Structure formats: C-alpha cells, structure tokens
Amino acid sequence: MLNSANNNSLQHPVANSSENTMNGYNRKAPQKRRYEMPKYAVPPKKKTCKERIPQPKNTVAMLNELRNGLIYKLESQTGPVHAPLFTISVEVDGQKYMGQGRSKKVARIEAAATALRSFIQFKDGAVLSPLKPSGNLDFTSDEHLENGIENIANDTLVVYMQMMILMLKETEKKPNLTSLETSKLRLQMFCMSQNRDKFKNVSKSAITVDGQKKVPDKGPVMLLYELFNDVNFECINIDSAQNNCRFKMTVTINEKKFDGTGPSKKLAKNAAAKAALASLCNISYSPMVVPQKNVPLPIDDKSSSMELPQIHADAIGRLVLEKFMEVIKGQEAYSRRKVLAGIVMTENMNFFEAKVISVSTGTKCVSGEHMSVNGAVLNDSHAEIVSRRCLLKFLYAQLDLQCNQATAYQSIFVRNTDGQYPYKLKSGVHFHLYINTAPCGDARIFSPHENDTGVDKHPNRKARGQLRTKIESGEGTIPVKSSDGIQTWDGVLQGQRLLTMSCSDKIARWNIVGIQGSLLSSIIEPVYLHSIVLGSLLHPEHMYRAVCGRIEKSIQGLPPPYHLNKPRLALVTSAEPRNQAKAPNFGINWTIGDVELEVVNSLTGRTIGGQVSRITKQAFFDKYGFLMKNLPGILNRSVTTDYGQTKANVKDYQTAKLELFSAFKREDLGSWLKKPIEQDEFVLTE
C-alpha cells in the first residue's frame, strides 16, 4: 500500500487543483529527475592500433633524414614587434634555400620544404629531378635484391635520396602489401641506409668562415636534436660528495653512446651532446675553434691549425683518467689530487690502439733543506713534470730493447743511418700530454670568467709571457727577477727559498730542445710533443703564447734537427671542476711496465718510505751508463765525467738551450733561473 501510494504520488504530482492554483494561474510541481541505468552496461570502445592515424613528419624531419648535419641560420627578422616575419636559410649541396614565417619554426619548415622541392617533385610521388628513370620502378620485386642497390644508384647522393623517397611513396600507394613484399621493401631500405656512404661521403663538418672553423651559433643539445631524430639522454649521479657533486649523462644516437660529466645535469648534458657532435658530425665547441669574432690564432702560414680533433682530445683524456682509476685501486688513500697528468702514445694517430705511457699527480716542489748532492730527490713534483720524467723512463726502456737483437723489433726506436744520431723514433709515433688544468705560470695567468677571446687590449703589458717560478713547498708562481739568474747552495740552506721554473716555461723549453732530456740527446734525435690536451682552463691565446708563441719571433740559430715545435691544443668536452680542497703533500707516478704505482713525498723528494724514487737524476744517469756500454752503434762508450759535465758535453742540445734562454732575454721576458750547480756534481754509481 505504501509503495503504491508513493508511486501514485510520483505519477500524479498535482492532487488538488485548488491547492495548486494561485491568483488564477496554474503552477506545476517540479518533477524529480530520474536516471535510468541501461539494462546492460557497455564500456566505451577503445581505438585499436589500426584506427590510429600516423602523424606525418614535417619537412625539417624529412630533410634531416636525407641529409644529416644541416644547419639552419636566421637571416633576418622584419616587421613590427607584435607580428615579426622571420627569414631562415639552410644550405644543401652548396645551395642556399630560404623560408619565411611568423615564427622561427614555421620559417625553418618552409626553408626545408624549399630545399626538398628543388630536387624532388612530389607529383604522384614518382617524378623527381634531376633523376629521370627510364620506367616505373617496382621496389617490391626481387630484381634489386639480386642485382644490388649499387646498380640503381652508383655515385651520387641525390640518386640515393630520390630512391629512398620513391620507396616510401611506394608503400603509400600500395597499402595492401603482403608480408613478403613488405619484408623485401624493408630489406632494400636497410641495405641503402647501410651503403649510403658508397654513394657519396657526406661531409658533416662544422660551419667554416673563410676556410676556418667557427663555433656553432646554437647550443650543443639544441643542435643535436635538430640533426638527429632518435636522441635519448640518461642521467646518472656518479659522485655526490659534498660541494663536489658530479653528474654523468649518456646520450644514445643510432645505438651509439656518448658520455658527458659536469657539476650539474645541464652541463653534463651539454658535454655529452658535444661529444656526440664531435664524433658524428665533426662539429667542435672547443675554444681553439675560431670564435664568432673571426679572430684567427697567431699561427704562421706553415701550420694550418693548432686544434687537435675533438674526438682525439676526448680519447686522450678518457684514457688517462681510466688508467689513473685502474692503478690507484688498492691505494685509494693516495687518490686525492688537484692536478692529474699523463702521456699517451699513438702510432699513425690510431687511438683505438693508443697506449697510456705515464700517469702522475702532484702540485708541490721539494723543500730547500732536502736538496741532494747525489741526484737522489725529485726537485719538481708537479704532475706534468713527473709524467715527462716517467716518459724518460719509458724511452730508456725502449732503448734497452735495442741492446738485444731478439727484442730490437719491439722498440719504438730504429737505427738512424742518415743523421748524426744513432737512433730515432719510428715514423708515425706521437706523444700526447694530458693535464687536467692549464699548466702553472703564463698559461694560467688570465681570468676564466672574462670574455677576452678577441684582440688582447693590453698585448704589451709586462705580465704577458713573463718567465715565472714556483714557490718552494707551496702553490702558485711569481715573475722572475733579472738578478735571480743563479741560486746558491749555501744561500738556500741559510733560508733563501728554492725556486723552480713554472710548468708553462718548462713546456716551452720542451718545444725547443725536446722532451728526451740532455743525456738521451747524445743517442736519439729530439722528440717533441704532438699535442697538449687540457681538462679545464684552456684559453687559446694565452696557452699558445705560453708554450711557443712568445719566442717564435725571436728564436733563431737552432742546430738541426732542433726547431720550434708547435703542439696541437685541445680541451676535453667534459671539463674538470675547480677543486677548492687543499693540495696534498704527496704525488703518485706510474709508467707502463710498472707493477704498482709509486707514492712520493713532494716536500722531501723521496718516496713515502724514504727511498730514492725510480725517476730521479741518479736513476736516469745509471740507465744512461748502461746504454753507453751495451747499445749498438755508440762510438764513444766511456762516461768519465760527472752528471753535470756529461750533459754539458751534448753540444747541439746545449746550443739549442742557450738559444732558448737568449730568446727570452731578447723579448724582455726575464732570465731562466738555474738550480745550484752542486746538485749535478755526482758521478755514476759503481
């Protein structure tokens, strides 16, 4: 009864006409809305993959697929601020194509479309120019698989691009291809993509200005996304130490991986993108590349470029860092360092088989009270100087191989039948020096945050190019004084600071007399560095001036084969961070062939156990005496003088060294500071 009453009340909301009448007007009672559920709930239909409409690629993507490495340049911007008109150009095969639009994106798309129209006519997808096929090509037949793609297109990239477009259009005209036909088509496209270099070697070099490289206008990440479609970045935090957080970013392009590190994810991403662009497109963001101001480096006409290819620089830096991490295992307590250096050897510039010759760390010099009259201490424990001494140890070991006819072929030296030196390096052998920061001295005297890459506003200031000395037991350098030409033993013992020439000055010396030292100069021809790679603080003009530029105009009269060497310079893409920690008082050294590394107390010049280091003057003099007795081809085998006099007897080396000192004086850069002569007055051990 209750339910029926309720139903009646719902069906007849107006029960009494008199009650619902007011002032002669009928008023209807509002009815409640009722939602009736369907008898069977049917879920909404989901779109299947077949119903999805593929998004067409824009012209920029299509052009990039056909031609990687294209650069889009903003030519002009006209019109009012609220309605600008952009003009962008792209260069393809030496031809510039323009596009305009209300935005840069639209203008870029129009420029790409203009370029595509120039060599592809999309009418029916079959008529292209300049290629005019004799007949309709059926890309689903077996003919091209049997005869090879090279029978269709032999020597031009235009033919390759047109055939790729034809094949893509063929799939559009035949949507109902069988699985076999589709497989054949994909196989042909894959073969063409794998053999595209046979059609034409696509040049992916960086933009050039007047024949010289130019830093790209765009950032590395943006440029990478424009040049390649499949770009994937992955970030890994590899070091979360306090105040020294380092991120590692890996970018994958066409199944190739490139790494970059930095103090932030953004910088690590940029470093990875730079590495990828350098490897895939030969596009470099190195400071050695001519900047936007187009100010060339002060190099002579004989040297076309002072820049080492970026992929080679990154390989050198990576090899040294990996070797350091390898040799430091088990002795992590000595991994603390501020400066890391190493030397890499290549044959015929083959970096796939490059060898790390030496690895070292250190930033201090010996204290004056620990000087040795027997050549038993290391005076200079700066990393780059120690690495060079490790290289000397390697050169002595290579000459030892020549003492035995059975091992002579393994040596990097060969008998020299033409010159006055018994031995010389094999052709194609090069040495590359890596330092994680600019060498102390003239190469580091600049502000890294001031944009002075253009013409030097103060080229004649006294600080430019001055010879500088390291401070005893400390860091940093000071200019030499004209009166400080000679240091005395008793003066140092009475409290005078023992001064050592800066690393920049010593590298400049190596570029005149070689890195082989005076003793080996009586046996082998001068050996020079092929390149110097820095991990940070590379200023092209300051670095060039420091290592060779400050004396190139005044050096003269060098006895051949001595000459002014101009090493290639480069900066790694993943720059080393500035280390604010206090420098340790120890340094490590390792040379190829060593079982374990050696740890040296930089203040005493001896190992932490108080032993004589394996790279001291005393050790090398003993090795030299052995070579003079056993090495074939040596005329005068007697060594009757002390260490200092034996070095002085190498006439050509001494002539080149004195000419170097004179060149510094002629340029008014100061006098070379020598150590007390008592240090070299020791003889061979019995």
Residues tagged active-site: 384
Query: What DSSP assignment string belongs to 169-201?
Result: HHHHH-TT--HHHHHHHHHHHHHHHHTHHHH--
Rounded to 5 degrees, what angle do the CA atoms 96, 82, 75 make? 15
Which tokens is 466 given?
């001055």
Which residue is listed with tokens 């060497």? 565
Q: What do you get for the CA distance between the two ends of the chain, in Å?
A: 130
Eight-state DSSP code of residue 401:
H
- Is there a contact between 351 and 315 (Cβ–Cβ < 8 Å)? yes
Sign of CA dihedral 174, 179, 181, 185: positive
Q: Which residues are CB-neighbours of 215 under 8 A, at least 6 positions away? A: 284, 285, 289, 290, 291, 292
Inter-residue long-range contacts of 350-356, CB under 8 Å, 24+ positions, other chains counted: 351/311, 351/312, 351/315, 351/316, 354/315, 354/316, 354/319, 355/592, 356/319, 356/320, 356/323, 356/592
Give SS3 for 590. Answer: strand
Query: What DSSP assignment string belongs to 539-568?
Result: -HHHHHHHHTGGGTTT---PPTT------E
Eight-state DSSP code of residue 301:
T
Q: Please state, in angstroms and rounded to a whole number, the distance separating the CA atoms of residues 623 and 631.
A: 11
Q: Please state, in angstroms and rounded to a whole number, the distance separating the CA atoms of residues 428 and 3.
A: 106
Question: What number of residues does the chain have?
Answer: 686
Q: Please state, in angstroms and rounded to a whole number, the distance separating the CA atoms of residues 388 and 369.
A: 25
Whole-Å CA distances, 26 to 9, 22, 29, 461, 580:
18, 7, 10, 105, 91
Query: What DSSP assignment string belongs to 107-139?
Result: HHHHHHHHHHHHHB--GGGT-BSS---SS---T
Q: Please state, in angstroms and rounded to a whole number, the distance separating the CA atoms of residues 300 and 37.
A: 89
- Buried/exposed 296-312: b ≥16 CB within 10 Å, e otherwise: ebeeeeeeeebbbbbbb
Closest CA to 603 of 428, 369, 429: 369
Eight-state DSSP code of residue 402:
T
